[in-house]
Chains A and B, each alone.
Chain A
Amino acid sequence: MTALQVIFLITAVGTLGSALMVVITRNLVHAALWLVAALFGVAVIFVQLNAGFLAIAQVVIYIGAIAILMIFAIMLTRRVAQDAGPQTNPNWAWAFLVAAVLFGGLTWLLSAWSGFSTPMPEISSRADPLRQLGQALVSPNAYVLPFEVASVLLVTALIGAIMIAWDRKSG
């Protein structure tokens, strides 16, 4: 067992554990915090996959924006009576079943795939994924259009969110 494998395992367990806690905890704020932990674990995995930029982006965007946003939302939609009691709805058994079946199915299907156990290929030290990514995102031959569209999407979402959450009473 190499060091990388150990690190991976620790990270994986941490992530999965945090994720599990997210979906199980009764306290919603705790769930948000556990979510932060899970997202952090995902960032670490990104690092292990030589996607440094994505790791940073993950932390900044997901944890820095999205998770915070969720905490704000929890704060704004607090009902004391709702926080007590089990936080799962009566169909949790069916949900569990579906999730389990899906996991089993996916695993089984993937294991039949030939490329299931591909080892990690070497990448040359001269390769710079960051530079490549930057060029790909603004290059007309590559992904500039999706990039621009994504920005438009964000503007739209921004405006949309404001509109939806606009409080008519206070104007």
Chain B
Amino acid sequence: MKRKIFFLGLFMAFLLQVTAQTFTVTGTVLNASNSEPLVGATVKVKGVNKFTQTDAQGRFTLTEVATGSTLSISYAGMEVREVKASAGAMTIELGLAGSSTLSDLVVVGYGTQKVTKVSGAISTVKGADIEKLRPVRTEEALQGRAAGVNVIQSGSPGSKPTVLIRGIPSYSGTDPVVVIDGVPQTLTDLNSINASEIESINVLKDAAASSIFGVKGGNGVIVVTTRSGRKGQKAEFNINSNYGIQQVLNTVGVLNATEYAAMINEGSTVAGGPVIFPNLSSIGLGTNWQDQVFKRASLQTHNVSARGGSDQVTYFLSAGLLQQGGIVGGDDKSLFKRGNLTANFNIDLTSRLRFILNTSAVMLNGRGVQENSFNSILGSALNYDPTVTVANNVPNTVGQYGYSTRILSEIFNPLTKLDNTYNKNTGSKLYGKAELQYKLYKGLLFTSRFGYTKYDGNARSFTPLVFWGTNNVDNSMNPDGSTVAGRFNSVAHEKTSNFNYTWESFANYDFDWKENHHFETVFGFSLAKVSGNAAGATRQDVPFNSWEFADFTAATGVNNATNSNAVNGYYYQYFRRNLSKFLRANYDYQEKYLASLTIRRDGSYAFGTDNKNANFLSGSAGWLISKEKFFKASWVDQLKLRGSYGTVGNENVNPQYVGIVTGGPSYGPTANSNGYNFGDVFYPGATVGSAANTALRWEKQIQANVGFDALLSKRKILLTADWFSREVDGLLFTPSASLYLGTVPIPTANIGATKTSGYEITLGYNDKLGKNFLINTTATFTTATNLVTATNTDGTAKIFGGYYFNGQNQSVTVFEKGQTPGYFFGHQAIGIFQNAAEIASAPAQAGAVPGDIRFADVDGNGVIDAKDKTKIGDPFPDFTIGWNLNLSFKGIDLTAFTYASVGNDVYSAWERNGNYTNKYRGVLARWTGEGSTNDPRNPRYSFTDANSNIRVSSRYVEDGSFVKLKNIQLGYTLPSKMVKKVFSSLRVYAQARNLITLTKYSGFDPEIAGGILDTGVDRGAYPQARTFSIGLDIKL
């Protein structure tokens, strides 16, 4: 039927073209998913200033339309369709945005490109998908949706996840650069963008796509485009509201009080000590501290936006509020709150000159709890004595909560700790851009853009006087409520201020040569500065030991001869400067043969005069093989082959010089301290505090990419696959140097190399089954293998990380030659010594007795020593899969998103392992005598541990693979007949996030973020919450 109309229309058009100049077009615009009319859709005649909007029945009429004109029909959240105007009643159906990729434009650096002409590797996530998820942070929306992007989330409200685009090139500074509406920002800044304002996110992954960003593009680029209005669009209002409750998914199995007491008795008696708990029968289950600290927390988002435009001005206005409480301690103690106000204007000052002003004001507010260590809130909840009662029942002692008489330091009653956690961070951010575009003549456009981010933070925290329990070494309050001599409460303030800006001017020139040769070129320069400063002050003696009076002005501390800490202050400042010039030319022949070349010259203040600038070059080519005449496969609608090669850089260092530090004790990483006391009078000193490496130069990455995009089976199936490789040359690395050089920090040098390669595949399917049933599903597959190929010539340079404390300071992750960056490094636990004879015949292992772990003699020298440490795990997944499913039937829609990570190991490091701290339940299966177990995870239990069963070993490595149902949402859009008098559309939905997690990991959550050297090390990390919410989407 439709086809008939089409042909008829063509025929009519043909006739009309011959007979008349203009005609009247009428039609109806429908939602393809439910065939409901779309009210307020914009219908525009392309190339002329003529448009209209559909009425309450979705109908439109345009008079005096030139024959042969093309209509462009658009509607928020829907794909833009272009159809030839035809006589007679046209019926135009719009599908959801993202279901078709044919005519889409991708935002690349300094311009846009038609998606079919792209020959670099770019992943796109559409605003509609982001809106469905309602993420707190935008990165969440990339997880599993953008192939090649690995996002490892943290559960702490508003905290930054680990984002890796195409593997791990370096040991630090792996954050991709974020570009919001053309303005470079950082990953940290993604905490302040309101997800509902995002039109689309493009992830630029290979050198061809990202090298236009030069030095900043080395770790990939996340290009965020926010919404804007359209010309001639009647004001369109969107109101969204979502309210949810978060709760913890699961708790960790630790011992109950009776089990704990029995284990303590065993540990003590095996070590030759007394029985600690003589009567086990009276102890009971005790207190589960995890149940005490996990609270329900709220999650809500509310947004209102309006957009539209006149002939000269288009606008997008938005206001949003997001509030996420934390499940550790609830909203009172852990909270992330964000308010956004955005106004984006495009103003055509003249027909050639356009002014664009994007302004966002963000208020960030939060409070948090100590995280991710054995003595954090969660660490304390896991490790604290379960025999202690929740309430304090000791007469004549202050304090609401019970305390241990055995754990006297480091680990505290988590409720007391929570109660005494007071902090508040407030921040305001202003970001945006002012941009002028001048169209000199057709195809030549000049742009000058000033983008900025201004952030002011204000943090306050209060350390009260606390009575932790009798004899606790950290008591600052006596049992009777008086102050311990020499201890003080204190308040700390810090104000930070940053201003970053980028000024870029460039010219775009698009032209055709001999009709079929199409060129798109851009050249320009970019000047960037990052600057900031911070000042802080602390003061003791806060009145009434209370948060209410925790302020510098209210506190009364005054420095004196015995206490120079009563009032303190500090200040510091920093900056960075860059200057770059760039040039790019894209070429296509009939949209069939594609080529692109990018040249960028970057200058950084961080390098010495010889190496200030570096050139980066990249190129790509594509072939739309499906456009060739010989290409006959009818089931293939489009097939494009792509390849790219190029270099990008990294300047992640500070300038080097032989600096002289003066003053006193240093708190820096190597504590290269100064000064001395003569007769108890402090004399400041001076010493060499930094060293320079004059040969320092840019780190360069060589990237290659090969891939294809295919649309199959009447555009129902989309398949994209890429293979990539990245090699880092001259990796900025802190070399290992002779210890006899002393303690001056060793300067960074270009001594490393890494190699990463992998595959990524996206498979999409969308179809309409019957009249009303729509399916749209996408799966992504991402894999990368990473290898450090060089450090020092002799491979001795190592970067250690993943530090934790279990009675000793331990380091579990290493960045070194020949290994995956950040792999787990320790002893291989291979069994349990069953008897003395086994120990005698095994490689010499100092201190071992029967029941202790037997470690592998990796180097075969007959002694178990430090040289036997080896790879015991890898925190990064072998591959990840994301699967997004959208179904709709009439007004009902269902969205489900599942994410799987396979092969990532977790190092369980939350156990403090003190004599009287609580333990993981696994200890119940411990070795108790010959033949009881040979599982190296379960050695004997004793207070003394001469064998060091607690050393870094495979004992603590677990498979952290997981499948998470990250998001499931069921919505219902009310029939337009019911609501049309008030709303143009009304949708209600229920949503559950993190509903199901399937994993073998014994801890809270196998997803543990923290940069290259801390990812996968679980020190009691903040788990992600399960959220149930309901919401409302209204369009007016």
Instruction: Answer whether A and B are interacting partners.
Output: no
Interface residues of A (CB under 8 A from B): none
